[in-house]
Structure 1
Amino acid sequence: MAFHAQDIDLQQLAEEVIKALNEIASGLGTDQDLGKVTRDIVGHFLDAYPAYNCMVVHPPHIATFKECVKQEIRVPYDYVFSRLYKVYVFKEGTFTLLGDGGYENWCFGGNFERDGKHVTFKLRPY
Structure 2
Amino acid sequence: MIQELPGDALVVSGVTRRILAQALADAQRWRARNGLAPLQAYATLVGVMSPDGHADIDSGPVGQPEGMSIHEAAAALGITARHARRLAPRLGRKVAGVWVLDRAAVLEGGE
Q: Name the TM tier (shorter chain).
A: 0.3 to 0.5
Tell me the TM-score normalized by structure 2: 0.35
What is the TM-score with the length of structure 1 in the denominator? Answer: 0.32
Q: Which has the higher helix share?
A: 2
